[in-house]
Structure 1
Amino acid sequence: MNSPQDWTPASWRARRALQLPTYSDPAALQDAEQRLSTLPPLVVPAEVAQFTDRLARVARGEAFLLQGGDCAESFDDLEEQAVESTFRVILQMAVVLTYAAACPVVKVGRIAGQFAKPRSAETETIDGVTLPSYRGDIVNASGFTAQDRRADPERMLAAYWRSATTLNLLRALSQGGAADLHEVHGWTADFVRASPQGERFTELADRIAQSLAFMGACGFDAVRAPQLHAVEFYTSHEALHLHYEQALTRFNARDQRWYGGSGHMLWLGERTRGLDDAHVEYLRGVANAIGVKLGPSATADDVLRLLDRLDPERRPGRIVLISRMGSGAVADRLPPLLRAVRGSGHAPVWCCDPMHGNTVTSSNGFKTRDFDRILQELRGFFAAHAQEGTHAGGLHFEMTGQDVTECRGGAQLLTDEGLASRYRSACDPRLNGSQSLELAFEIADVLKADRR
């Protein structure tokens, strides 16, 4: 089927558009958009189609989705070491989950495009000074000066080039040997290695090495098997900055569809999923896989109407519904949505974001999240699916491979006092590499129980 006939990449401009920046110079904005529209897309239709095919397997219960990365990428934190450390932690988590669930894991990074952030207020006030809110590096800077907080359209071009550089590195890492299972022992960061989860991963890596040696002894040429040397790795971000998204939208003559060229998967946030608003209007017309964040206010009617609007063809792998209910609400709020969708004829991927519904402020003023509440929501997510007979398809979380101290608890026993030592996020708190791996082992136990 072709893209909708009543849709264009610019049709969103006639709708109510929330969470977009206000630019003081419309001519400068138009010029930046025009220049961006002449650049190559960051992803191509064949990659998007392959990713959608992988998600269709998740929807059928034949695979599991693992999606993780920064809350908001920073122009200053995209050096090789930061990207590679996050990539390796996602690989570690995927290996843990693959071993437990005995099924493929589709690996997706919140990376190479996650530069825009929604905000609850247009402005913020510090010491009596009121300035525009920080909306992510694609819009303005996080420093608290009038110059920093000015929305600058040139930042869209900067976001594009940084995304292109990051994608280039990710493709090299995923296909150039860094993901080789024969090197699995070397994936663990130094600060994780001596922890309980680091030791547990070493034991798993030993078993994998023994399995590879056994296959070799049986005559299987593991050295030549491409599945053991490379991985498929996809990118995603919230399609919040519609000027940027439109400028990177491209028409594919082969299948007569429009594609968002900024990432393989684009998603709607809790604040931008209004059925008749601009963000839904834009995303309904592109052929990419689309995610939809669903908080505790989401009703069954909301979800069904969004599914009909975004996926009228009911294409397998088209929609990922990402629940973010909060640990105290998931048991009550999620099951009615599962029942409604199960009876609708739609077959989306169901994924859990246990981060956003569990954000609190520490006693010393840091925005943080508790590891135990994150784990509680994940367990509630799996329990709700078991109760309703539906497939719990994946995890969506904010993390980094770096040794940050932003979320409390876990085996590291991080407290309020410990948050200040390495709190580096410009926006929301992230799990560090150690906590991410610990979370993977906890979920692996759930998946193994499901298999039994």
Structure 2
Amino acid sequence: MTKALLAPPAVGAPDERAGDEWRDRPAAQQPDWPDPSALRAVVRQLAGLPPLVTPEECDTLTDRLGQVARGRAFLLQGGDCAETFAGTSAAAVRRKLETLLQMAVVFSYAASMPVVKVGRMAGQFAKPRSAPTETRDGLTLPVYRGDAVNGVEFTPEARRPDPGRLHQAYQASAATLALIRAFVAGGYADLRQVHAWNQDFVARSPVGQRYERLADEIDRALRFLDVCHVDLSDLRTVELFTSHEGLLLDYESALTRTDPRTGGRYAGSGHLLWVGERTRALDGAHVAYLAGVRNPVAVKLGPSVGADEVLGYVERLDPDRVPGRLTLVVRMGAKRIRDRLPGLVQAVTAAGAEVVWVSDPMHGNTITAPSGHKTRQFDDILDEVAGFFEVHHGLGTHPGGVHVELTGDDVAECLGGGSAVALDDLGRRYESACDPRLNRGQSLDLAFRAAELFRGPRGTARRSDPAGTA
């Protein structure tokens, strides 16, 4: 039975000791704040504010991810590449929520298991970048690092890092969480309504015929439950958790709280935090910070990572071998996933660690269009997901989920998909503040296609624990 998890959090006591370990280690991708005294003032202010999430919610997510690690559930994680303050509107949040729910219904039915839903929402306001500066027409300015740091406009004023934006990020995250709670409580998560949205998508999609069989199966299942007088009221609400990259360590540390129940420390900024490809140094500050909190945590793994390094993350971040504590998010690229992933999975499996394996098919497949826009080919994204499933099915391990950058809006940022976004469309409907996202139609295309791949050629889900359907 599901429920609306995101209850308003209680005010937690600031933990002045929390996160101090990371300060003695190299911290990559931190802004060059021009006024350290202003930064200290904002951090003190944040330390006195309520946490955005509670330890109980974080523990619940660890339990749910533990089911994923054991092959009894599937993880769907998605949302903006970089949230913006302007995008924190009821309409934008609702469209992203609807898209995630639609995708989750497809995966849940196809996989014959629960889907743990985690949004890249309510905190994804900062981004690591490949260079500290950007030059246009002879003018060099600091690179845009997300709304929590500076503005996207290419002016000296906008690009100057402003610690006051950290407080704005907190406020925008709180507003997003409030909107999610309101939509979930207001019936937007009703399974029958979400299925009706999917039926409409199938009817309108240029490639909708491909998905009719799966949509009809879901429809028959719901009608069967109805005629059996099964109470579907429990299907009106869902658990939805939030996540973001734990990039800005001053912000994360200021919102860390000690749980009075256990004395354990929790990041209060979101349910799940991850370190990215550019900040995952084993001896770095970001890994040290995540090692000191009890939230479920994740590490992004690019094609250069080796098995020994991955085992190092397991030892550092999951020394007690708690199923669901550690998620390994693979971002190899479609051309390398089938060669690079098997050795990593075999090494972790041999070490006896129960981690969640997740495919991020976005970041390893980014290209630059002739127009200068960063973009991604839908077919490459799908192929990386296919390779991820193939590797796990071949090894008898569980392909735990997918992590995608998406929006509920009708943008043109990734190429291809059922609605065939073309190169010429990029200049007209490219709205991302950073990396290209799947639009709503492409997101649902991916869900239906990936669900088919997960089920395998015989139309049944393949998983490491066939009996486990919690």
TM superposition score category, shorter chain reference = over 0.9
Q: 1:86 aligns with which of 88, 92, 96?
A: 96
Q: 1:311 aligns with which of 310, 318, 334?
A: 318
Corresponding position: 1:423 with 2:456: no
Shift, 1:203, TM fit = 7.2
2:66 equivalent in structure 1: 56
Classify the secondary structure of the residue corresponding to 1:372: helix
Aligned residue runs from structure 1 range 17-36, under 5 A = 17-36=27-46
- Alpha-carbon separation, structure 1, partners of 2:452 and 2:212: 17
Classify the secondary structure of the residue corresponding to 1:404: coil
Aligned residue runs from structure 1 range 188-337, under 5 A = 194-196=204-206, 208-222=218-232, 225-226=233-234, 228-337=235-344
| Counterpart code for 1:400 | T
Classify the secondary structure of the residue corresponding to 1:390: coil
1:3 equivalent in structure 2: none
Q: 1:268 to 1:343 in 2, by over 3 A?
A: same
Select between 8-17 and 136-145 the one with higher mean Cα deviation.
8-17
Shift, 1:201, TM fit = 6.7
Classify the secondary structure of the residue corresponding to 1:51: helix
Select between 387-396 and 433-442 the one with higher mean Cα deviation.
387-396
Classify the secondary structure of the residue corresponding to 1:303: helix
Corresponding position: 1:395 with 2:402: yes
Corresponding position: 1:146 with 2:153: no
Corresponding position: 1:137 with 2:147: yes
Paired residues of 1:89 and 1:188 also in contact (CA < 8 A): no
Paired residues of 1:89 and 1:187 also in contact (CA < 8 A): no
2:131 equivalent in structure 1: 121
1:414 equivalent in structure 2: 421
- Alpha-carbon separation, structure 1, partners of 2:342 and 2:220: 42
Paired residues of 1:292 and 1:320 also in contact (CA < 8 A): yes
Q: 1:347 aligns with which of 315, 340, 354?
A: 354
Corresponding position: 1:156 with 2:166: yes
2:185 equivalent in structure 1: 175
Q: 1:132 to 1:100 in 2, by over 3 A?
A: same
2:87 equivalent in structure 1: 77
Structure 1, residues 30-81: CA drift from partner, whole Å, max 9, x if none? 0000001111000001110111000000000000000000000011111111
Q: 1:200 to 1:89 in 2, by over 3 A?
A: farther
Q: TM-score by structure 2 length? A: 0.91
Shift, 1:391, TM fit = 1.0
Shift, 1:199, TM fit = 6.9
| Counterpart code for 1:355 | M
Q: 1:89 to 1:193 in 2, by over 3 A?
A: farther
Q: 2:176 aligns with which of 166, 177, 184?
A: 166
Paired residues of 1:192 and 1:434 also in contact (CA < 8 A): no
Q: 1:382 to 1:202 in 2, by over 3 A?
A: closer
Classify the secondary structure of the residue corresponding to 2:347: helix
| Counterpart code for 1:331 | R
Paired residues of 1:93 and 1:440 also in contact (CA < 8 A): yes
- Alpha-carbon separation, structure 2, partners of 1:448 and 1:324: 22
- Alpha-carbon separation, structure 1, partners of 2:102 and 2:203: 12
Shift, 1:410, TM fit = 1.1
Structure 1, residues 93-142: CA drift from partner, whole Å, max 9, x if none? 11111111111000110000000000111111100000011000000001
2:466 equivalent in structure 1: none
- Alpha-carbon separation, structure 2, partners of 1:259 and 1:439: 34
- Alpha-carbon separation, structure 2, partners of 1:200 and 1:376: 17
2:10 equivalent in structure 1: none
1:366 equivalent in structure 2: 373
Paired residues of 1:197 and 1:437 also in contact (CA < 8 A): no
Paired residues of 2:329 and 2:359 also in contact (CA < 8 A): yes
Q: 1:36 to 1:333 in 2, by over 3 A?
A: same
Structure 1, residues 142-199: CA drift from partner, whole Å, max 9, x if none? 1111110111011000000110010011122223311112323553598886214667
Classify the secondary structure of the residue corresponding to 2:407: coil
Select between 148-157 and 196-205 the one with higher mean Cα deviation.
196-205
Shift, 1:207, TM fit = 5.1
- Alpha-carbon separation, structure 1, partners of 2:353 and 2:106: 30
Identity across matched positions, percent: 55
Classify the secondary structure of the residue corresponding to 2:158: coil
- Alpha-carbon separation, structure 1, partners of 2:77 and 2:182: 19
1:46 equivalent in structure 2: 56
Shift, 1:216, TM fit = 3.4
Give aligned pairs, total. 443
| Counterpart code for 1:243 | D
Classify the secondary structure of the residue corresponding to 2:159: coil
| Counterpart code for 2:354 | A
| Counterpart code for 1:353 | D
Corresponding position: 1:16 with 2:26: yes
Q: 1:85 to 1:279 in 2, by over 3 A?
A: same
Q: 1:371 to 1:213 in 2, by over 3 A?
A: closer
- Alpha-carbon separation, structure 2, partners of 1:192 and 1:430: 21
Q: 1:316 to 1:397 in 2, by over 3 A?
A: same
- Alpha-carbon separation, structure 2, partners of 1:358 and 1:17: 27
- Alpha-carbon separation, structure 2, partners of 1:282 and 1:272: 11
Structure 1, residues 354-385: CA drift from partner, whole Å, max 9, x if none? 00000000122110000011111111111111
Structure 1, residues 423-451: CA drift from partner, whole Å, max 9, x if none? 00010000000000000011111122152
Structure 1, residues 240-267: CA drift from partner, whole Å, max 9, x if none? 0001100100000211210000000000
Classify the secondary structure of the residue corresponding to 1:11: helix
Q: 1:262 to 1:193 in 2, by over 3 A?
A: farther
- Alpha-carbon separation, structure 1, partners of 2:185 and 2:304: 41
Q: Where does the alignment leave 5 or more consecutive residues of structure 2 unmatched? A: 1-16, 463-470
